Structure 1
Amino acid sequence: MTTTAPPGNLRDFYENPAVPVASGTPRSLRQARMLAAALGTDTAQTVLDIGCGDGTAAATAAPLLPGHRIVGVDWSHDALTRARTRLPYAVRGELTGLPFGTGSADAVLFSEVIEHLVDPDAALDEIRRVLRPGGHLMLSTPNLAAWYNRVLLAVGVQPVFSEVSLRAIHGRPGREVVGHLRLYTARALREFVAAAGFEVVRLDGAPFHGVPRPLRPLDRLACARPPLASILLLHARRT
């Protein structure tokens, strides 16, 4: 889930096996297809799944990336134990200093991580360091301005994905506390990634597995307009 060891009780929170470390398959598949289209199949390339959690996202991507080497990276020992059941390579690392050489990676998967970070600026700096020039960043994160969050805010309800406590849900729908510290709109995410030294290539939307079943068709329709989608999928290249 996250690869920068947080301070104090945050560290204990993320090491708790009850804390979710994977997102829904639809998001993972959409992101994997974007990555496969970017990499192609000409030569074997190295893909780092930074914040790999239990390895689900990388394992979902693997069949679409034949011949490429996927390495899972996380700081959580519990997450890595689970990831190693799904991935041939999974190593411990933190975003304060990843255990990879400068320019050694062709692509980075950064799935549902940035919203958990205290210092996302330093994280993108380190990702940029390990990526080769022209290397690909595939980032996904919840959308603060998702279609239902706009409705919830209008009636004074805390938006989905936002959290005010690590102990319980207060003021918003949902049951799981997942430790989100940062939330982005489509516009904010584009500007933030560009300012970190990347060229934004594409921004897509993906559905959220936690949307109530009767509303899922509407959630899938919202994907056609990323600023309204539940999940933001961004493809950028290192400049």
Structure 2
Amino acid sequence: MAAVMSGNCVVCESKLVGGHAGWHSVCTACSYEGAALEPCINASVEAKVDEDAREIGLRQIRMENFRDLLDHIDRLCTPSQRKLLDVGCAHGWFLETAQQRFDVLGIEPDEFVAGRTKSRGLPVRVGFFPSVLDDAEQFDVVVFNDVIEHIPDIRAAIAAVHRHLGAGGLLVLNLPNSRGFFYRTAKLLSRLGWTAPFERLWQKDLPSPHVHYFDRRNLARLVASHGFEQVLSIDLPSVRAQGLLERIRCAGTSSTAGVYVQYVAALVSLPLVRMFESDIVVSVFRKQ
């Protein structure tokens, strides 16, 4: 279900204006984009998500990206900074990789997905951040892998991270980039009347849709206003040929023909993608 977007920008407080759909709005001052899409985690609509296809489609690229990301995190941490929290840990792939270097804990609100992850022996608490944490719990690193853009009250989430981070702790945000090639292409196609790719990137009609889209500058501005200093900003590959079809198919929101049209379009564009900004940006911030 989608509502009409209204209100002020979460970054700069400017008035939001209408975007590419009734549920989509943009800030003309700082380029932030928002959506009035309603999350419904743990509701019956989750049957639309094929978790097996999702795992096939996402696992390889996520695992490769996570290894690169952990190298960067490790270099920014001191030897004593070993306690890591993975918010929205999903299938636990980042936890699996990170536990070789850190003392890890995951949080996952999706009861079905969390159950699958816990069954593999990974340390996961079922629920929402930060309510499943004790007030006094502290971490050295808090990571949001493709999660922060799903949280409606993002300011409260960042403030909670600040409270639960120790001195000099790191906030790691791995999220979509509004200046990325695929997102900019989807917006162009939406203007031309084909809305499916744009809705797919916002994960419209899925249990946990995107409600924010940032670029590097407006993201850094938002996080800095909560007592953080940016120490790293990098791109990660957003798509690889292997697993691409399953990744598109797992949403279950398009016809078979539509799935294959999106797949072929994405596949033939891969050489071109490397000439533009990636659709995935990682920004790391240190608590001040």
Q: Give the TM-score normalised by the residue count of structure 2.
A: 0.64
The gaps in structure 1 that reach 5 residues or longer are 1-6, 168-176, 223-227
Change (3 A) 1:8 1:235: closer
Alignment counterpart, residue 158 of structure 2, candidates 120, 124, 147: 124
Partner of 1:62: 99
Change (3 A) 1:57 1:221: farther
Change (3 A) 1:220 1:55: farther
Matched pairs, number: 214
Q: Which has more radius of gyration?
A: 2
Counterpart of 1:162, as a letter, is W
Partner of 2:216: 186
Partner of 1:162: 202
1:129 and 1:15 map into 2 onto residues whose CA distance is 34
Contact 1:55–1:82 (CA<8 Å) still a contact in 2? no
Please list the CA deviations of residues 42-94 of structure 1 after superposition, one character each: whole Å capped at 9, or x if unmatched: 3362100011111112213334x2xx201111222212112224453111242
Partner of 1:37: 75
Deviating above 4 A after TM superposition, structure 1's stretches of 4 or more consecutive aligned residues are 19-23
Q: Does 1:229 align with 2:268?
A: no
Aligned pairs for 1:5-20 (under 5 A) are 10-13=40-43, 16=46, 18=49
Question: Larger deviation: 49-58 or 80-89?
Answer: 80-89
Partner of 1:170: none
Shift of 1:219: 3.4
Q: Secondary structure at the match of 1:190?
A: helix
Question: Larger deviation: 108-117 or 24-33?
Answer: 24-33
Partner of 2:112: 78
Greater RCO (CA < 8 Å, at least 6 residues apart): 2
Q: Secondary structure at the match of 2:178?
A: coil
Identity over aligned pairs, percent: 21
Question: Larger deviation: 195-204 or 84-93?
Answer: 84-93
2:38 and 2:183 map into 1 onto residues whose CA distance is 30
Partner of 2:26: none
Contact 1:138–1:235 (CA<8 Å) still a contact in 2? yes
Counterpart of 1:10, as a letter, is C
Alignment counterpart, residue 236 of structure 2, candidates 203, 206, 215: 206
Q: Secondary structure at the match of 2:125?
A: strand
Counterpart of 1:49, as a letter, is D
Contact 2:39–2:208 (CA<8 Å) still a contact in 1? no
Partner of 1:50: 87
Partner of 2:148: 114
CA-based RMSD: 3.0
Q: Give the TM-score normalised by the residue count of structure 1.
A: 0.76
Counterpart of 1:213, as a letter, is L
Contact 1:72–1:87 (CA<8 Å) still a contact in 2? no
Q: Does 1:27 align with 2:65?
A: yes
Change (3 A) 1:221 1:29: farther
Change (3 A) 1:13 1:112: farther
Partner of 2:139: 105
Shift of 1:19: 6.0
1:14 and 1:74 map into 2 onto residues whose CA distance is 17
Shift of 1:216: 3.1
